[in-house]
Structure 1
Amino acid sequence: MTSPRAELTYLEVLDAVAESQRAVEASLESLTDGQVSEPSKLPGWSRGHVITHLARNSDGFNRFALGILTGESVPEMYPGGPAARDAAIEEGAGRPAELLAADFRFASRRMLDSLRQIGEDRYEMPVNYRKPATVRDIPILRWRELEIHHVDLGLGYTADDWPETFVEHTLRTQLPELSARHPNVAVPELSRNELLAWLVGRPTREGLPPVPAWPF
């Protein structure tokens, strides 16, 4: 696995995550109950599914953070594994917009608070993510969840709105991984934001080379 760190420090990425968090919160402020049940840009998922996923993803990363802080082993990100994760998303997707937004806000801010309490001496401690990862990687992974799923919500935020720092950071780490794992995939000539959108399976135009499902 190519390291997702690429130059930014742990605390710098946490600051970027907080900024992305605020942007999603702003998009959810005017969300209506009708919009919650409408399809998102992810096949089979409503906007309520995406918001609930982001909240439960926060809970999972918070579990890791608390485990590091307390010294307790956390064997998996989601209690009960993938099936329980999927059930929780399905169960929460149909809630009113106000409750969805509040759940997202609380879970995400709590996770950020926990991550900020972790000292530098613990940054290299491993966590039981689906790929090899350490504490230092958690903010990066959360950053990607927020920015990419913000687009998936279909509320006017697009790949063109991705911060330059996010785009460049992710391309620097994920393009080499694509080349290493799938060397026969042709990388198209696109703007940086469009290139990242293609890379993570959110192409902005038709006719681009097919890319394996991300993350690779």
Structure 2
Amino acid sequence: MTDTAPDFAHDVAAVHEATERLLTAVAGLDDAAVTEPSLLPDWTRGHVLAHLSRNADALVNLLTWARTDVPTPMYADAATRDADIRRDAVRPLAAQLDDLRESGEGFTAAARALPADRRGFRVEMRNGVVERADRLPLRRLGEVELHHVDLGIGYTLDRLPAAFVAAELDFLTGVKFAGHAKLPALELRTADGRSRRTGRAAEGAAPLVVTGPATALLGWLTGRGEGDELTADGGALPVVPPL
């Protein structure tokens, strides 16, 4: 994982803007639409919205840990996390909107309250993943933007802000899948001339080159696209492990 400090204030502002876009879009739904299937297996739109609200609360826990140096887990445990999402998924639209707005404001306030000298503090996320506090806004931004797509209400991958797509590709290639034992060595190339490497170490062999639009690469890596717009030198695209 890179230790390069992100632009914390910029990232917090980006989360706020993405949340406002999401709230505006969701406000156009109705109670029936909230109960309909999302693009995620076995989840309704209500599940997605409930997850986003509870994720904001969970990240506030980590920001509080970073600020106070008192260990605070994201969630009490996996079973409680899942139960809370199921519980909140069935609420009507108005309750979903209020919760999403209030939890989002809570995240923004907690992020802005984090002193600059505590931003490099490391906290433990789910599944033992260790992360710097100043990268938590980027984590939240990924949740908001990608789950907005998952709602299936017209916000598609090609509507994602270019800056977010670039930052998320940097995260996926440089952190999430870097050295991953179940992904071959890859070099991802986009039309803007960028090249990113990820997957297993090449061990002397050239990595598999995958080329295509940045949004298509993002969709493929996150399980939100089949990679139809991508080309792989020398064969088919490999299977990407679940996030």
Q: TM-score, structure 1 length as denominator?
A: 0.90
Q: CA deviation at 1:104?
A: 0.7
Q: CA deviation at 1:68?
A: 3.0
Within 5 A, what are the aligned runs for 1:58-77?
A: 58-74=56-72, 76-77=73-74
Q: CA deviation at 1:180?
A: 2.2
- Counterpart CA distance in 1 for 2:50 and 2:94 is 12
Between Structure 1 and Structure 2, the one with more strand by share is 2
Q: Secondary structure at the match of 1:124?
A: coil
Counterpart residue identity of residue 225, structure 2: P
After superposition, the CA RMSD in angstroms is: 1.9
- Counterpart CA distance in 2 for 1:173 and 1:149 is 17
Structure 2: 5+ residue stretches without partners: 187-207, 229-235
Change (3 A) 1:23 1:124: same
| Contact in 1 for aligned 2:34/2:92 (Cα 8 Å) | yes
- 1:176-205, Cα deviation, whole Å (9 max, x unpaired): 443521225655322011111111111155
Higher radius of gyration, 1 or 2: 2
Bigger relative contact order, structure 1 or 2 (CA pairs below 8 A, ≥6 apart): 1
Q: CA deviation at 1:10?
A: 1.0
Instruction: Verify: 1:101 aligned to 2:101, yes or no.
Output: no
Identity within the alignment, %? 33
Q: Relative to structure 2, which stretch is displaced further, 203-212 or 155-164?
A: 203-212
Counterpart residue identity of residue 152, structure 1: D
- Counterpart CA distance in 1 for 2:60 and 2:81 is 15
Between Structure 1 and Structure 2, the one with more helix by share is 1
| Contact in 2 for aligned 1:124/1:135 (Cα 8 Å) | yes
| Contact in 2 for aligned 1:187/1:209 (Cα 8 Å) | no
Which one of 83, 88, 94 corresponds to residue 87 of structure 1?
A: 83
| Contact in 1 for aligned 2:14/2:141 (Cα 8 Å) | yes
- Counterpart CA distance in 2 for 1:24 and 1:121 is 31
Counterpart residue identity of residue 193, structure 1: T
- Counterpart CA distance in 2 for 1:128 and 1:66 is 12
Match of 1:55 in 2: 53
Q: CA deviation at 1:172?
A: 2.0
Instruction: Verify: 1:210 aligned to 2:239, yes or no.
Output: yes
Q: Relative to structure 2, which stretch is displaced further, 187-196 or 142-151?
A: 187-196
Instruction: Verify: 1:34 aligned to 2:41, yes or no.
Output: no
Which one of 103, 106, 126 corresponds to residue 110 of structure 1?
A: 106
- Counterpart CA distance in 1 for 2:120 and 2:52 is 25
Q: Secondary structure at the match of 1:180?
A: coil
